[in-house]
Amino acid sequence: MERGNPEAQAHPSFGGVLRHQAAIREKLSKIRNKIGVYSAKGGVGKTTVAVNLAFALQRNGYRVGLLDADIDCPNLPMFLGLEGRMQSETLPLKPLEKDGVKVASTAMLVDDAKSPIIWRGPLIAKMLYDFLGSTDWGELDYLIVDLPPGTSDSPLTVMQVANLDGFIIVTTPQRIAGVNSMRAGLMAKRLSAHVFGVVENMSQGGPSPSTEEVSKALGAEIMGRVPADRRMADLSDSGKVPVLELAEMAKVFDDIAGKLPK
Ligand SMILES: Nc1ncnc2c1ncn2[C@@H]1O[C@H](COP(=O)(O)OP(=O)(O)OP(=O)(O)O)[C@@H](O)[C@H]1O
Ligand SMILES: [Mg+2]
């Protein structure tokens, strides 16, 4: 190991990894369903789907947590208008709460959530280990995990350490999104993870051939289509949750939520 190289020092030792994994397992042990929301392509609506699905589940009487697993660009708190900080002087870390949903993000640990996080893989992995192993969710019916885009280090680390029960793959009607969503789903499957289904976001109405193709390639149903609607972006930009404001969006996400394991 190189001396004085912070990235090299960030590699947890073998014993350290085992200890981290035991701590993470213990912290996630009272959660019935851990579900990742994922796509290899950026900007398709992973965070939007994760947020609205979490609140749809909460409205339906479930105990729900939302984990921001995007360490580089942790923007979940902005979607929720949550400006508070998780107190980190004493462990375990406690998620904040928004309208009955528990929320944790590394953006809630720092003073300036807008400053860029310029880290390489090993530091990101260590942050994820520490964050997951220190956050106490208590008993939950669902933990919805908002994953970063891509098929490399960051999402891979989350998949490996959080031992998720399965994934929802988000895509949009465009073919380029479809190809990358398929990639994401196939990566999850290669890691023996379950794909619950595909959500088409920014849907233009009728069935999109690209989404049908993704669904077929992954052997996973299309769980729902979320219409492209300017109000979705405007509400999210002002920290409001669309399913709590728009009856038609509540219906779309109630239907998706109803297809998840109980
Ligand atoms: N159905 C929709 N209709 C209109 N705008 C939407 C819709 N879904 C998402 N958006 C907007 O598109 C932008 C990208 O969405 P979002 O941040 O959820 O994508 P993402 O996949 O999480 O992105 P990233 O890869 O950067 O994490 C946001 O401004 C969001 O408000
Ligand atoms: Mg996102």
Per-residue pLDDT reduced to its tens digit, 116-162: 666 666 777 888 888 999 999 999 999 999 999 987 777 888 887 88
For helices 175-190 and 209-218, give the axis angle rounded to 10 degrees: 10
Counting as low any pLDDT under 70, the low residues of the chain are 1-17, 113-121
Which CATH number goes with the domain that contains 49?
A: 3.40.50.300
Quick one: pLDDT at residue 198?
97
Domain contains 88? yes
The rounded Å distance from CA 30 to ligand 1 centre is 30
Ligand 1, atom 13: closest residue by C-alpha: 43
Say how far residue 197 (Cα) sits from the centre of its chain. Answer: 15
pLDDT, residue 14, reads: 65
What ligand is nearest to the CA atom of residue 68? 2
Domain assignment of residue 17, given as a range: 12-257
Q: Cα(50) to centroid of ligand 2, in Å?
A: 9
Q: How far is the CA of 114 from the centre of ligand 1 (A)?
A: 18
What pLDDT does residue 52 have?
Answer: 98
Per the domain annotation, does 262 fall within a domain? no
Can you tell me which atom of ligand 1 is nearest the CA of 148?
27
- For ligand 1, the distance from its centroid to the CA atom of residue 234, given in whole angstroms, is 11
List ligand 1's pocket residues with C-beta within 6 A: 42-48, 70, 73, 149, 201-202, 226, 228-229, 232-233, 236
Q: What is the pTM of this model?
A: 0.92
Beta pairing class for 166-171 and 140-146: unpaired
Locate 172 and state its tokens: 């949009």
Would you say 65 and 105 are in contact if contact means Cβ atoms under 8 Å apart? Answer: no
Residue 62, Ramachandran bin (φ over 0: left; ψ between -120 and 50: alpha; else beta): beta
**d(CA 3, ligand 1 centre) in Å:** 42
Q: Is residue 27 part of a domain?
A: yes
Q: Is residue 21 part of a domain?
A: yes
- Pocket probe for ligand 1: among 38, 41, 47, the residue whose CB has the most ligand atoms within 8 Å is 47
CA angle, 61 as apex, 60 and 63 as ends, to 5°? 120
Q: Would you say residue 229 lies in a domain? A: yes
The whole-angstrom separation of Cα 246 and Cα 240 is 11
What number does the ligand 1 atom closest to the CA of 233 have? 31
> Which pLDDT does position 10 carry in this prediction?
55
Q: How many separate domains does the chain show?
A: 1
Kindly state whether residue 101 falls inside one of the protein's structural domains. yes
Cα 60 to averaged position of ligand 1 atoms, centre (Å): 24
CA of 177 to the centre of ligand 1 (A): 13
Specify the pLDDT at position 150. 84
> Best of 52, 79, 236 to mutate for ligand 1, by most ligand atoms within 8 A of CB?
236
Instruction: Point out the ligand 1 atom lying closest to the alpha carbon of residue 230.
Output: 4
